[in-house]
Amino acid sequence: MLNDWFQNHKRDLPWRADPTPYRVWISEVMLQQTRATVVIPYFEKWMRLFPDVATLAHASLDAVIKAWEGLGYYSRARNLHKGAQQIVERFGGEIPSTREELMSIQGLGPYTVNAILSFGFRKRAAPVDGNVTRVLARFFAIEDNVCKQAVKRKIAQGAEALLTPDEPWVTAEALIELGATICTPRPRCEICPLNKNCLGKERAHLLPIKNIEKELTQLKRAVLWIEAVGKVLVKKGEPGKIMADLYEFPYFEMEELWPIQKIKKAILAEFGLKPQVIGQGPQVTHTFTRYKATLFPFKFRLKTPQEIVGYEWVEQNNLSKLPFSSGHRRILHL
Ligand code: ADE
């Protein structure tokens, strides 16, 4: 029933054509935290740039990060690159087909491993992400907190039990599709193929029950565009830090909006520079992990670039070729 519904209603998505283990792996990692419509052009470009595991493994990390620019959570891109290198070193460039081997690859967790086993190798496995959890918490009317390990296990077992014996990979993807298109946070139970058997349909809008989310920490940052003879001062995020491998302009953390005099003093104290103020841009908000940063851009000009440890002067024309964090990229385009 669910399988029939999926065959008749599934969206036409590029990774569903020719679901090789490699294409499943890449698409599923892109789809974590990102909607399918956003992923499509990234996926298509990725497959042109890195059509197989070996090409990805031998690409530069900068090229991989650049192809990911805008998708966020860049550790996913670094893990794909590292994972591809591990597959070349340990499995001769072929994505392995057992749970144990897949779990040994960097960045692969139970969800992605099950997706690869199911869609890529057509094995019996149920990938359960947040959307599928929502579908199943409703279908089985699970009133417990779905963030608890024991409840997660129960949901994973429920998902497995629903897989049909002959085409388990179809049911597995149907559950994902249902969560993305019908059993959404605001559910459309009237058109749901499972509405006859759904135990939670009267309470669907109240399920699943989750931990209350932590509030985002608010940040205010003065972001400095400092130019000198056509070059602009930027910094590449350090490995292991939040913005690793992404470029940003220099910035100061402020408790409240600083007057321009205070910003000039801070530039002198931090960088030993005395640039001239030439303007101020509109503020930009940027949300990442558990922070919401409001960026206040200030524009300065200096007669000659001076070397500053940890920073680079980059030709203004070349800035757009670098991968920037999304907030700073918006400032670049202002
Ligand atoms: N989200 C996660 N996996 C997906 C898939 N295979 N198709 C559509 N959306 C998804």
Q: What is the DSSP string of 197-255?
A: T-TTGGGGGG-SB-PPPPPPEEEEEEEEEEEETTEEEEEEPPTTSTTTT-EE--EEEES
Whether residue 255 sits in one domain with residue 315: yes
Whether residue 247 sits in one domain with residue 146: no
Q: What is the mean pLDDT of residues 134-138?
A: 98
46: how many CB neighbours lie within 10 A of its CB?
22
Catalytic residues, by residue number, are: 28
CATH number of the domain residue 190 falls in: 1.10.1670.10
Look at residue 205 and tell me whether its pLDDT is greater than 90.
yes
Contact 226/300 with Cβ under 8 angstroms?
Answer: yes
Whether residue 306 sits in one domain with residue 240: yes
> Residues 253, 256, 262, 263: is their CA dihedral positive or negative?
positive
Q: Which amino acid is at 67?
A: A
Whether residue 153 sits in one domain with residue 57: no
Whether residue 129 sits in one domain with residue 118: no
Contact 61/153 with Cβ under 8 angstroms?
Answer: no
Whether residue 234 sits in one domain with residue 267: yes
Write phi, then psi, for 325 (nearest 5 degrees). Answer: -65, 155
Give the count of domains, the chain. 3
Look at residue 266 and tell me whether its pLDDT is greater than 80.
yes
Closest atom of ligand 1 relative to the 129 alpha carbon? 2
Q: Residue 114: give the domain boundaries.
A: 1-123
How is residue 26 annotated by DSSP? H
Look at residue 213 and tell me whether its pLDDT is greater than 70.
no
Whether residue 104 sits in one domain with residue 12: yes
Q: What pLDDT score does 212 carry?
A: 64
Q: What pLDDT score does 257 carry?
A: 82
Q: What is the mean pLDDT of residues 216-235?
A: 94
What is the Å distance from ligand 1's center to 300 Cα? 45
How is residue 146 annotated by DSSP? T
Closest atom of ligand 1 relative to the 28 alpha carbon? 3
Q: What is the mean pLDDT of residues 253-273?
A: 93
pLDDT in tens, 268-321: 999 999 999 999 999 998 888 888 899 999 999 999 999 999 999 999 999 999
Look at residue 214 and tell me whether its pLDDT is greater than 80.
no
Look at residue 238 and tell me whether its pLDDT is greater than 90.
no
Look at residue 264 and tell me whether its pLDDT is greater than 70.
yes
CATH number of the domain residue 10 falls in: 1.10.340.30
Q: What is the residue-averaged pLDDT of the chain?
A: 95
Residue 226's alpha-carbon distances to 136, 238, 282, in angstroms, are 53, 21, 16
Query: Is 178's C-beta closer than 6 angstroms to any atom of ligand 1?
Result: no
pLDDT in tens, 36-74: 999 999 999 999 999 999 999 999 999 999 999 999 999
Q: What pLDDT score does 9 carry?
A: 96
Boundary-marking domain end, from 195, 213, 231: 213
Q: What is the mean pLDDT of residues 170-196?
A: 97
Write phi, then psi, for 11 (nearest 5 degrees). Answer: -70, 150
Q: What is the mean pLDDT of residues 104-124?
A: 95
Q: What pLDDT score does 314 carry?
A: 97
205: how many CB neighbours lie within 10 A of its CB?
12
Q: What is the mean pLDDT of residues 95-119?
A: 94
- d(CA 238, CA 152) in angstroms, rounded, equals 35
Out of 18-22, 158-162, 236-240, least confident range: 236-240
What is the Å distance from ligand 1's center to 113 Cα? 14
Q: Whose CA is nearest to atom 2 of ligand 1?
A: 31
Whether residue 85 sits in one domain with residue 74: yes
Whether residue 137 sits in one domain with residue 61: no
Query: Is 173's C-beta closer than 6 angstroms to any atom of ligand 1?
Result: yes
Boundary-marking domain end, from 91, 106, 123: 123
Alpha helices of the chain — where are they, by DSSP H?
2-9, 21-31, 36-49, 53-58, 61-68, 75-91, 99-103, 110-115, 130-139, 149-162, 168-181, 260-271, 326-333
Boundary-marking domain end, from 77, 106, 123: 123
Reduce the DSSP state of residue 129 to 3 states and report it. coil
Query: Is 176's C-beta closer than 6 angstroms to any atom of ligand 1?
Result: yes
Q: Which amino acid is at 257?
A: L
Query: Is 222's C-beta closer than 6 angstroms to any atom of ligand 1?
Result: no
Contact 31/69 with Cβ under 8 angstroms?
Answer: no
- d(CA 314, CA 297) in angstroms, rounded, equals 18
Query: Is 170's C-beta closer than 6 angstroms to any atom of ligand 1?
Result: no
Angle between helices 61-68 and 36-49 (to 10 degrees): 150
Straight-line distance from the first to the last Cα atom of the chain, in angstroms, rounded to the nearest whole number: 51
Whether residue 138 sits in one domain with residue 79: no
Whether residue 119 sits in one domain with residue 130: no
- d(CA 176, CA 129) in angstroms, rounded, equals 8
